[in-house]
Amino acid sequence: MKTLAVTGGIGSGKSYVVRMFAAMGVPVYDADSRAKGLYASDAELMTVLKELLGDRLVKDGVLDRQYMASRIFSDRELLERVESVVFPRVTADFCRWKKFQEDRQGVPGFVIMESAIYLEKPALEGTADKVLTVVCPQEVRVERVMQRSSLTKDQVLERMANQWSDGRRTELSDFTIVSDFRHPLLPQVWEVFMKMNTDF
């Protein structure tokens, strides 16, 4: 069974595109959500993270994500050390999940790993057979994020500045879907769906 990594910047419409694939019966692994689940279920992972970030990482028995973010996003070296611990476990979890999907009946010939940072993180490289990037004009992305969150325009732009550009992602991708309200999504999704099931 093949794997399609679906990625894209904040506000690109990536998650909406993934839901369209899911409606076609494609199993979806949300890397971000699964990583959060590992924080709660993987005791060994939490022990290592506490060694890196200190006992304040756990508050009332639960990982303090705000504290974790405040530590790692202001210290690139620490961020890389945390990622070197977390990503191999996410990859292993994905492999277990994919094996479960392969054993099911009636599943299409591929699964999806949804990850905004798939191309940006070498630790995830090689997990997928093909990569799809969802792109969208910046002004539309900013509007989308502001509508669904409490972030200001400047805050959204700051987050975008810390992510790869659409151009950089598409250069390394096998497929591109434009999610801008002008290009119909269903034909684009269907084309990728068919290619993933027939081309290789």
Asked if residue 13 belongs to a known ligand binding site, the reply is: yes
Q: Is the distance from CB of 13 to CB of 138 less than 8 angstroms?
A: no
Q: Is the distance from CB of 8 to CB of 135 less than 8 angstroms?
A: yes
Asked if residue 12 belongs to a known ligand binding site, the reply is: yes
CA distance 135 to 7: 9
Asked if residue 16 belongs to a known ligand binding site, the reply is: yes
Tokens 């709660």 -> residue: 40
- Tell me the C-alpha to C-alpha distance, in Å, between residue 39 and each of 26, 47, 63, 148: 26, 10, 7, 26
Asked if residue 15 belongs to a known ligand binding site, the reply is: yes
Tokens 């794997």 -> residue: 3
* Residues 6 or more apart in contact with residue 14 via CB below 8 angstroms: 6, 7, 8, 114, 116, 134, 179
Annotated binding site for ATP: 11-16
Annotated binding site: 11-16
